[in-house]
A and B are shown apart, each in its own frame.
Chain A
Amino acid sequence: DAKTTQPPSMDCAEGRAANLPCNHSTISGNEYVYWYRQIHSQGPQYIIHGLKNNETNEMASLIITEDRKSSTLILPHATLRDTAVYYCIVSTSNTGKLIFGQGTTLQVKP
């Protein structure tokens, strides 16, 4: 599975959009991009995933570049409860295995 690179930390003002980048330059054609987050010491929570097209759900939007070498997770109106570690993961395995990196710690400030 391809590796990902994320900034270690980011800040965002409450109510503003949070844009979290992820580089996955070695991604192969059948690999999906997944985003999970972990609040405090809870179990990780699924946010969104995609293959080629941009995706949106009730939590976030995922923008994948045309060459698929990078992506951005967008939280449209960040709240204090969105403060968490966000993990970008690339995976194709038909076993569903996820390889976590160290993620981006997002701090949403009032």
Chain B
Amino acid sequence: NAGVTQTPKFRVLKTGQSMTLLCAQDMNHEYMYWYRQDPGMGLRLIHYSVGEGTTAKGEVPDGYNVSRLKKQNFLLGLESAAPSQTSVYFCASLRNNANNEQFFGPGTRLTVL
């Protein structure tokens, strides 16, 4: 199993550009999450999904959109990137039982100029 993978690993954007980050998991997990981590800080939840076709807002959802059209994929979109969105983005997935361990991807390092 590859576990949780994220594409791309690095990206530099100009202010106002758009992009989509892809998270994929091959563990048949029901739940998926997008977090961001700024320097010296803990992770903050952006959006999450409790199943295919469902999404919900986390702590810091503004400026982001998500989609979960397939169970194995969770996409994070930035429609108009801003310098404040410079961060490392982590995706995670969780098995059906909510009280269990989340598996994290390696992260995507995004810089917005």
Consensus secondary structure, chain A interface: loop
Minimal beta-carbon separation of B35 from chain A (angstroms): 8
Cross-chain pair count, CB within 8 angstroms? 61
A100-B43 CB under 8 A given contacts A42-B106, A44-B90: yes
- Which parts of B38-57 form the interface with A (CB within 8 Å)? 40-45, 48, 50, 56
A98-B102 CB under 8 A given contacts A41-B88, A41-B107, A44-B43: yes
Docked-complex contact A87 and B99, CB < 8 angstroms? no
- Which parts of B1-47 form the interface with A (CB within 8 Å)? 4, 31, 33, 35, 40-45
Q: Interface size for chain B: under 10, 10 to 19, 20 to 34, or 35 or more residues? A: 20 to 34
Minimal beta-carbon separation of B2 from chain A (angstroms): 13
The listed residue (A42, A45, A96, A100) touching B98 by CB distance below 8 A is A96
Interface centre among A32, A43, A46 (most CB of B within 10 A): A43
A96-B31 CB under 8 A given contacts A32-B99, A44-B90, A103-B42: yes
Query: Which residues of chain A have C-beta atoms less than 8 A from B105's C-beta?
Result: 43
> Which residue of chain B lies nearest to A44 when distances are taken between CB atoms in the complex?
B104
Docked-complex contact A95 and B31, CB < 8 angstroms? yes
A98-B45 CB under 8 A given contacts A49-B99, A49-B101: yes
Q: Is B62 an interface residue (CB 8 A)?
A: no
Which B residues have a C-beta under 8 Å from some C-beta of A?
A: 4, 31, 33, 35, 40-45, 48, 50, 56, 58-59, 88, 90, 92, 94, 98-107
- A-B pairs, top 7 by smallest CB distance, nearest first, are A43-B104, A100-B42, A46-B101, A96-B98, A100-B43, A96-B94, A94-B98
Which A residues have a C-beta under 8 Å from some C-beta of B?
A: 32, 36, 41-46, 49, 87, 93-103
